[in-house]
Amino acid sequence: MRSTRRVIEGTACGLLFALLMPAVAGADGEIVSWGDNSSGQCDVPAPNADFVAVAGGESHSLGVKSMFGYGSIVPWGRNICGQCNVPAPNAGFVAVAAGNEHSLGLKADGSIVAWGYNPYGQCNVPAPNADFVAVAGGDCHSLGLKGGAPACPGDLDGDGDVDLSDLAQLLSNYGMTSGAVYEDGDLNGDGDVDLSDLAELLSHYGTTCP
């Protein structure tokens, strides 16, 4: 029997449904969904393309568009607690998570935005809301992982300045889609070296570290 291996970019599970992003030619960031669809949580809004991350709550779903789509979050499904009402500005997101009836988005600058059902403070991100590299949502709680921001963001070669050598180092790794680390140019900690990392470095270009 012939075996065919398929590569998966991302997966997520809600209460009774599942979401998947296949990494196959022609998929172009498409989300495939199946299972309970009583609240439309499996009805991915058109155009179903250019997604880079996905999450599932109890009966709602969230997808993050690539930075070329401005890093916006697309929500669908049940919205009785405002879990699908992404706060403005809906841009600059690199990751997403869903709790029972609340949602969370991780920004490229390391901050977390949370919205939806909040009687237990699951949407109240503790200060300082910065330096996060990952986010997760539970039934009535939320979690964020700190990455320990460098003392001088953008100084990839550690010479004390954010200059042409750092830019060249990032550009030499531009387009990495998995496994990237800070020294490769992954300034936001999402494992990729992409437009958001380039924008972050350029925002610090010319800085002399203290």
Q: Note whether residue 29 is domain-resident.
A: yes
Q: How many residues does the chain have?
A: 210
**Residue range of the domain that includes 171:** 150-210
Contact (CB, 8 A) for 123 and 101: no
Residues 120 and 44 in one domain: yes
Does residue 5 have a pLDDT over 70?
no
Q: Note whether residue 163 is domain-resident.
A: yes
Q: Residue 148 has what pLDDT?
A: 60
Residues 127 and 155 in one domain: no
Q: Note whether residue 42 is domain-resident.
A: yes
User: Phi, psi (5° rounding) for residue 110?
Assistant: 90, 5
Task: Please count the structural domains in the chain.
Answer: 2
Q: Note whether residue 3 is domain-resident.
A: no
Residues 118 and 22 in one domain: yes
Does residue 45 have a pLDDT over 60?
yes
Residues 64 and 111 in one domain: yes
Residues 138 and 154 in one domain: no
CATH code of the domain containing 23? 2.130.10.30
Q: Residue 28 has what pLDDT?
A: 75
Portion of the chain with pLDDT greater than 90, in percent: 54
User: What's the number of CA atoms in the CB half-sphere (13 Å) around residue 83?
Assistant: 32
- Lookup: tokens for 154: 């953008």
Q: Could you tell me which residue, 95 or 22, shows the higher pLDDT?
A: 95
Residues 71 and 171 in one domain: no
* Range 51-61 burial, b when 16+ CB lie within 10 A, else e: bbbbbbbbbbb
Q: What is the pTM of this model?
A: 0.68
Q: Could you tell me which residue, 16 or 141, shows the higher pLDDT?
A: 141
Q: Note whether residue 64 is domain-resident.
A: yes
Residues 167 and 184 in one domain: yes
Does residue 198 have a pLDDT over 80?
yes
Contact (CB, 8 A) for 65 and 50: yes
Residue 35's beta-bridge partner residues? Answer: 17
Q: Residue 24 has what pLDDT?
A: 53
Residues 18 and 90 in one domain: yes
Residues 91 and 26 in one domain: yes
CATH code of the domain containing 156? 1.10.1330.10
Does residue 26 have a pLDDT over 80?
no
Q: Could you tell me which residue, 185 or 191, shows the higher pLDDT?
A: 185
Q: Note whether residue 1 is domain-resident.
A: no
Pairwise CA distance, residues 80 & 59, whole Å: 10
Residue 89 burial by CB count (10 A; 0-12/13-18/19+): exposed, middle or buried?
exposed
Segment 137-158 mean pLDDT: 83
Q: Which of 9-13, 23-27, 94-98, 185-189 has the highest mean pLDDT?
A: 94-98
Q: Residue 131 has what pLDDT?
A: 81
Residues 41 and 121 in one domain: yes
Does residue 7 have a pLDDT over 60?
no
- Lookup: tokens for 115: 């919205």
Last residue of a domain, one of 146, 181, 198: 146
What amino acid occupies position 8? I
Contact (CB, 8 A) for 45 and 19: no
62-115 pLDDT tens trace: 999 986 657 899 999 999 999 999 999 999 888 999 999 999 999 878 899 999
